[in-house]
């Protein structure tokens, strides 16, 4: 008989780093459920609760769960991906904007606390952002450079026109974003709407060296990655932009007809 799609596999989020993986399948004779390629169950319809921790120095980790269903007609699979984040009291950030981080914050009795806000004390309201400089649209900016050599006339250079409140924007993307093993590299492409000096490209994978200094527009092939990796473009005065490259390890099984 034919093998239908093995139903579904899904993630039910609990608190902190705890979650439940649920799955079911139909019209199959055997099943296997894997986590990061390692088998965790042979049941065709069940669930399992997982508790994961994010290593120090990382903001998040991703876990790939796959259900394989097989029968006389062949084999099919389904995939679910869960992202596990650091607890607020152990992520190196000031989550409640009170100037105190993690264990220094009175709202963090332990590193596993997922709410850095002080109990009963509302976080302070951050000050408003200063307004952008008022520059009339179309008005040029004039700079006068005095000559170094005596006797020469000053040089007047016009920069403009400039629109008030305009801000530069950078973007970054990857192709492909999902790597199917054995492929373990992708092509990063990034650009900014103007030339910016001092841009750098970093990643959160301790096994992959940072690219370092880059031009404000360009592309390159990533080093080989073995887990989901976030690449971040940082340019002075511009909001950081990131892209995540994920991996999927397929499980292939040959079924010989009898």
Share of the chain above pLDDT 90, in %: 16
Report the candidate in 136, 179, 178, 128 with the shortest Cα–Cα distance to residue 160.
136
Q: Give which of 20, 16, 17 is closest to 115, Cα–Cα.
A: 16
pLDDT in tens, 122-154: 656 778 888 766 545 444 444 444 444 555 555
Return the pLDDT at 72.
77
Please provide the average confidence, as pLDDT, over all residues in the chain: 75
- Evaluate if pTM is beyond 0.75: no
DSSP output for 170-237: EEEEEE-SEEETT----EEEEEESS--SS-EEEES-TTS---EE--SSEEEEPPP-SS-EEEEEE-TT
According to the model, what pLDDT value does residue 25 have? 79
Confidence of residue 115 (pLDDT cuts 50, 70, 90): confident
List the one residue out of 39, 37, 28, 33 whose CA is nearest residue 5.
Answer: 28
CA dist 58 and 56 (Å) reads 6
Closest CA to 27 of 39, 44, 47: 44
For 197-241, the pLDDT digits (tens) are 899 999 999 988 899 999 989 999 998 888 999 999 999 988 999
Q: How many CB atoms lie within 10 A of CB 2?
A: 9
Strands (DSSP E) contained in the chain are 8-13, 18-24, 30-35, 38-41, 46-51, 60-71, 74-85, 141-145, 155-159, 170-175, 178-180, 187-192, 200-203, 212-213, 218-221, 229-234, 241-248
> Within 13 Å of residue 114, how many CA atoms lie on the same side as its CB?
9
pLDDT tens for each residue of 58-77: 667 788 888 888 877 778 88
Instruction: Give the separation between CA 159 and CA 149, rounded to whole angstroms.
Output: 24
Using an 8 Å Cβ cutoff, are 46 and 117 in contact?
no
pLDDT above 60 (res 157): no
How high is the pLDDT of residue 46?
84
The DSSP letter of residue 157 is E
């Amino acid at each position: 008989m034919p093998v239908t799609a093995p139903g579904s596999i899904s993630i039910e989020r609990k608190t902190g780093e705890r979650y439940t993986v649920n799955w079911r399948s139909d019209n199959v004779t055997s099943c296997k459920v894997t986590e990061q390629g390692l088998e965790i169950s042979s049941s065709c319809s069940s669930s399992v609760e997982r508790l994961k921790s994010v290593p120090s120095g990382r903001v998040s980790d991703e876990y790939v769960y796959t259900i394989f269903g097989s029968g006389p007609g062949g084999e099919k699979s389904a995939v679910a991906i869960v992202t596990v984040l650091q607890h607020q009291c152990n992520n190196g950030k000031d989550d409640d904007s009170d100037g105190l981080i993690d264990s220094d914050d009175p709202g963090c009795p332990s590193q596993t606390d997922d709410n850095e806000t002080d109990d009963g004390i509302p976080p302070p309201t951050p000050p408003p952002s200063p307004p952008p400089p008022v520059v009339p649209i179309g008005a040029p900016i004039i700079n006068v450079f005095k000559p170094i050599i005596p006797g020469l006339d000053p040089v007047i250079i016009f920069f403009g026109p400039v629109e008030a409140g305009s801000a530069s924007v950078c973007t970054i993307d990857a192709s492909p974003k999902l790597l199917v093993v054995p492929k373990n590299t992708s092509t990063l492409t990034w650009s900014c709407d103007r030339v910016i000096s001092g841009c750098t490209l970093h990643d959160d994978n301790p096994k992959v060296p940072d690219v370092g200094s880059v031009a404000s527009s360009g592309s390159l092939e990533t080093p080989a990655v073995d887990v989901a990796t976030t690449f971040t473009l940082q340019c002075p005065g511009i909001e950081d932009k990131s892209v995540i490259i994920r991996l999927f390890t397929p499980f292939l099984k040959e079924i010989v007809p009898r």
